[in-house]
A and B are shown apart, each in its own frame.
Chain A
Amino acid sequence: MSKAVEPVIAVDQLVKLYKTTTAVDGISFALERGSITGLLGGNGAGKTTTIAMIMGLVMPTSGTVRVLGAEMPRQRYQVLHEMNFESPYVDMPHRLTVRQNLKVFGLLYAVEDLNDRIASVARELDLTEFLDRPTGKLSAGQKTRVALAKALINSPRVLLLDEPTASLDPDTADWVRGHLERFRKERGATVLLASHNMAEVERLCERVIIMKRGRIEDDDTPQRLLVRYGRRTLEEVFLDVARGRGETREAAQ
């Protein structure tokens, strides 16, 4: 029998308490290499706190997070160069040009042949013509692509995304999703994506973890969730979970 491969991200009995609020309440899951997983939940469900604990940005109250075998946040410097993160709620310095921002982050991540890498990531994300413009002068869609370029500059093995297409027009959002799909396939990266956009999750993710009030309410493939809840879209499944209709139906059965 072959030895089981260690998951890229392993979350075990994770709890986060903020004073009297329980943000994350004993969740466990494991993500395999090359997988893309959607983390769904309403506002305050604990998605962002979970991602922050995976990045080592927030210390768990109890439980463990391991990324590429390193315990977070204690051993974070062993793996942070292999990870990256993108969120529309985190900005890049506005006064710096796109090239300057990518250069600074490329140096922080010790990216080899940095100028070539900047050129290549700019080409892939259709940013070449904006490289020498101040980041703050770009449109929302262009800024999102710059943030994505920063998140991909080190070709991360683990990519964490917090609502990556929030506030983008449908065309740009679709373009970004297409790029993420390609990156994941080519790099074999493990992607965890927190989103409110059900269509996005349905399109990109092979697994969906639904959180509510800090707990995992469900965890399955999109197809199996649709069958199990007897729904046509993930949005309907999400509403069932959010409003407790899933529990009612299970109780009735």
Chain B
Amino acid sequence: MSTPSTSAIIVAPHRVGAMVLRYLYLLRSSWTRLLELIYWPAVQLFVWGFLQFYIAQNSGFFARASGVFIAAVLMWDVLFRGQLGFSVSFLEEMWSRNLTNLMISPLRPIEFVCALMTMSLIRLAIGMLPVTFLAIAFFGFNVYSLGLALAAFFVNLILTSWAVGIVVAGVLLRNGMGAESLAWTLMFVLMPLACVYYPVSVLPDWLQVIAWMLPPTYVFEGMRALLMEHVVRVDLMVEAFALNALYFVAGVFAFLQLLKGARRVGSLLQTGE
């Protein structure tokens, strides 16, 4: 007989697949959901892309740093949409009042999390791939030319987005739909500190300490180093990865504790406000 701690970490691919299938059915049934995935990243790209054009025409510095705003907005979208993809899939269960059915099924929390991570990647691919091609077509910026560095940026950003998404899901389980706004807004707390569009050095010293606690800060600094100085900062990526590993494990732990709390206070029975 398996112990509870062991059984909690067993992952059955068929159950993860079942949940992914459920979300794919949902996406397929709703063209508005599909459109929404592309709409905002495309709008962001055009706003920042034209702004980059304008500034580059009037500043030699930005003319040399071609594509830095567009790369930043694309990377920010990986971070934000990655978390949103995770959280919205989770919210779908609460909106459809289906969470109880899942919680009494053999689906384990870790399998649920795996399915949400998979959906985060799928939703990101649907939303971001067309936008990267738009960036090439309209602004001549090819994000894929960043090569292996792009992979390192992506892995670090998606790990942060999942860590945040997991904690948000736990808070929703524990506190119900009253906490829904967290799913839409929490990532924006990180935005000024992660230094998406400006270097960390512009922050006051005390705020820089906080900024360096966030893995995305390393990614955006690394991205600027690559685009403006043509230097690949492996050290930054390794540090970001180490921080991400820490936050991801902490996120999963927090999720399991919040789920336990939800069982204690009975909030899995009432997933409304």
Contacts and interface: CB of A to CB of B under 8 A. Distances in A.
Most chain A CB neighbours (cut-off 10 Å) among B17, B26, B106? B106
Contacts of A100: 22, 25
A59 B29 contact: no
B104 A96 contact: no
Interface in B93-114: 96-98, 100-108
Contacts of B269: 48-49, 52, 57-58
Interface in A191-242: none
Nearest to B269: A52
Interface residues of A, number: 41
Contacts of B17: 107
A73 interface: yes
A25 B25 CA distance: 43
A96 B15 contact: no
Interface stretch (B134-142, B230-238, B258-266): B258-266
Contact of A59 (B96, B102, B108, B264): B264
Interface of B is mostly: helix
Contacts of A33: none
Contacts of B189: none
A93 interface: yes
Contacts of A97: 25
Contacts of B268: 52, 57-58
A183 interface: no
B210 interface: no
A95 interface: yes
Instruction: Output the residue of A16, A49, A57, A104 with the most chain B CB within 10 A.
Output: A104
Given A59-B263, A75-B4, A107-B14, A95 B106 contact: no
A26 interface: no
B21 interface: yes
A237 to B, nearest CB: 28
Contacts of A150: 101
Contact of A104 (B18, B264, B266): B18
A74 B4 contact: yes
Interface stretch (A1-9, A78-86, A170-178): A78-86
Contacts of A49: 266, 269
B21 A103 contact: yes
Contacts of B148: none
A96 B105 contact: no
Nearest to B267: A58
Contact of A80 (B12, B18, B106): B106
Given A91-B97, A92-B98, A108-B106, A73 B263 contact: yes
A81 B96 contact: no
A59 B259 CA distance: 11
A77 interface: yes
Contacts of B100: 57, 85, 87, 90
Nearest to A56: B104
A119 interface: no
16 contacts: A16-B266, A56-B104, A58-B264, A58-B268, A77-B8, A90-B97, A90-B101, A92-B98, A95-B25, A95-B26, A96-B29, A97-B25, A107-B18, A108-B102, A108-B106, A108-B107
Interface of A: 16, 18, 23, 48-49, 52, 55-59, 73-75, 77-78, 80-81, 83-85, 87, 89-97, 100, 103-105, 107-110, 134, 150
Interface of B: 1-2, 4, 7-8, 12, 14-15, 17-19, 21-22, 25-26, 29-30, 92, 96-98, 100-108, 260, 263-266, 268-269
